[in-house]
Structure 1
Amino acid sequence: MGTTQLETVPEPKYWHLKTVLSEALDSEFAVGEILPNERELAARFGVARATLRQALEQLELEGRLQRRRGVGTTVAPPRMGVPVGSAQGAWPGAAGDAWQPADCAPGTPPAGVARMLETHPDEQVHIVRRTRVSQGQPVAAELLYVPMSSVAELTGMDAPSGAARARVVLRELARHGLEGQDRAVELGSARADDAKALDRLPGAPVLVVTTRFLAEGRTAAVSVATYRADTCRLTFGDSGGVEIHHGPQRQA
């Protein structure tokens, strides 16, 4: 890893250093290799340790590095992408859906979701909580908002609670003929519940995918799925499916 003159670079020093380090990770370091300590790196590049830490934190955020107490900073391994979200013709919980139901309870949706569902702001809906794990690591958490009218057969029914109730709601929802779905993706910050589910700190950057499921000429359910922005890259193909890729893209 060579040195570089940073004083004349117009962009922030840590950002330029991050670029230099990123190129070195691709050409000079193997997956799992431990980087030199902060003192050595700072001396090599002629920067303050605070500047170096900013660059390392950014690379960790982008999934290029892993920093573990007692081990040091290592080069993160490239990980295989896995399919996320239902296919265009399938409801949540359909065969092949890797999301795991965790809980279900009645509650009031956020105002934006209520508008999408065309329900009264104070009207309660079923809120299904689901999680997604890849390679033993939590990578996404989902809240699926289902109006009572979409699963009317549950009215007055002594349905079980928790994950069992979630499966019942999903099964009843699937009785409708799915007419289509649309998605939107935006950058957000992890709320307390999401941060806990994803093993991140509150406020950590996340990718939020909002999906509206259509049936019988109306919105039958809305999914708000939160993905870890430090390990996930979302790509959309011709099939309309979503994939999450851990770590940086390694292809040309």
Structure 2
Amino acid sequence: MGTTTLETVPEPKYWHLKTVLSDALDSEFAVGEILPNERELAARFGVARATLRQALEQLELEGRLQRRRGVGTTVAPPRVGVDVGPAQGGAQGWPGSAADVWHTEGHEDTAPPAAVARLLETAEDTPVHAVRRSRTSGGQPVATEVLYVPGASVPGLPADSGEDTETSGVARARAVLRELHRLALDGQDRSVELGSARADDARRLDRLPGAPVLVVTTRYVVDRRTAAVGVATFRADTCRLNFADTGADPVLAG
């Protein structure tokens, strides 16, 4: 591998390096291949390691690279298309329908984050039902979600048995979803923002804390009031979100 010298360009040096690295990924490396270490790459392109790190971080944000624990930096596969439109074939789009691709993992009673409490119009210290769900694609985790449901939205929910086990947690979560399906859903609205993975989400998504993520917040409305709020965290390096509600297959990137 020869030495490549960057020419003087008006754009930031790391940005030009990112373009050069992207071309190299297309022509010299295969999906899943591990990149040389930072010292070798910096020497090849004649840049400081700080400049190289900026370029690598940008390529990771764009989904071209993945940093994996105990492995290093590898060439990422094309992004997968993830449909986040209303559920098809379910009770007017409630989570947990027959066509839902999410996996129910558990339940807990907990106070919601401040932003969620404002959407639910509840006090921040008031516990609500928190249903945790996950989603995979091609065998790899792509998203994790917490669905926050106040007790007033599911008044028919049976009392908790008090058994603190994984099995009872999943059963409780499914019971909450079943009760939601009894409500006539007026509609949903969603917002998307770029964020950084918190430690718990990073562990569930097999990413490092602080990795770029896309946070999709969905508000479920019944009788003009918020009945539930879902906060889904998607891997920004692997996902391309598709908001079409036609039931068509998601558009794949790459």
TM-score with structure 2 setting the length: 0.81
CA distance in 1, matches of 2:119, 2:220: 10
1:200 to 196, 200, 207: 207
Judge which range, 37-46 or 100-109, deviates more: 37-46
**1:55 maps to which residue?**
55
Question: How many pairs align?
Answer: 246
SS where residue 156 of structure 2 aligns?
helix
* Residues 77 and 10 (structure 1), Cα distance of their counterparts in 2 relative to 1, 3 Å cut: same
Q: Deviations over 1:66-101 (max 9, x none)?
A: 456887754322254242454383100111111111
Cα distance in structure 1, aligned partners of 2:10 and 2:249: 37
Give the aligned residue type for 1:144: L
| Aligned residues of 1:235 and 1:243 also touching (Cα < 8 A) | yes
Equivalent in the alignment of 1:16:
16
Q: Distance in 1 between matches of 2:222 and 2:72?
A: 51
Query: 1:110-141: per-residue Cα shift (whole Å, max 9, x none)?
Result: 22212211223332211111111222222111
Deviation at 1:17, TM superposition (A): 0.3
Can you list the C-alpha shifts for 1:42-84, whole angstroms capped at 9, x where unaligned?
A: 3442223443343234323422134568877543222542424
The equivalent residue for 1:5 is: 6
1:159–1:95 distance in 2 versus 1, CA, 3 Å? farther
1:65 is matched with 65
Quote the Cα distance in structure 1 between the aligned partners of 2:76 and 2:199.
26
Matching of residue 237 in structure 1 with residue 238 in structure 2: no
Q: Which amino acid aligns with 1:5?
A: L
Q: Percent identity?
A: 72
Conserved 8 A contact 1:235-1:242 = no
Q: What's 1:126 paired with?
A: 129
1:174 aligns with 2:181: yes
Contact 1:236/1:242 (8 A) holds in 2: no
Mapped contact 1:85–1:242 kept (Cα < 8 A): no
What is the correspondence of 1:108-187 to structure 2 with a 5 Å cutoff? 108-154=111-157, 156=159, 158=161, 161-187=168-194
Q: What SS is found at the alignment partner of 1:103? A: strand
Tell me which of 87, 102, 106 is aligned to 2:105. Answer: 102
Q: Secondary structure at the match of 2:154?
A: helix
**Which of these residues, 206, 211, 219, is aligned with residue 226 of structure 2?**
219
Tell me, yes or no, if the aligned pair for 1:159 and 1:168 is still in contact at 8 Å.
no
Distance in 1 between the 2:114 and 2:247 partners? 27
User: Within 2, Cα distance between the matches of 1:244 and 1:87?
Assistant: 17
- 1:180 Cα deviation after fit: 0.7
TM-aligned CA distance change 1:222 to 1:122, over 3 Å: same
Taking structure 1 as reference, are residues 50 and 119 closer, same or farther at Cα in structure 2, changes over 3 Å only?
closer
CA contact (8 A) 2:186 2:223 kept: yes
Q: Give the Cα–Cα distance (whole angstroms) in 1 for the partners of residues 32 and 159 of structure 2.
A: 55
The Cα shift of 1:220 comes to 1.0
1:153 is paired with a residue whose SS is coil
Flag the 1:181–1:240 CA change in 2: closer, same or farther, 3 A. farther
Distance 1:74 1:119, change over 3 A: closer
Q: CA deviation at 1:170?
A: 0.4
Task: Indicate the SS of the match to 2:51.
Answer: helix
2:78 and 2:238 in contact (8 A); partners too = no
Structure 2 stretches of 5 or more lacking a match? none
Structure 1: stretches of 5+ with no match in the other structure: none
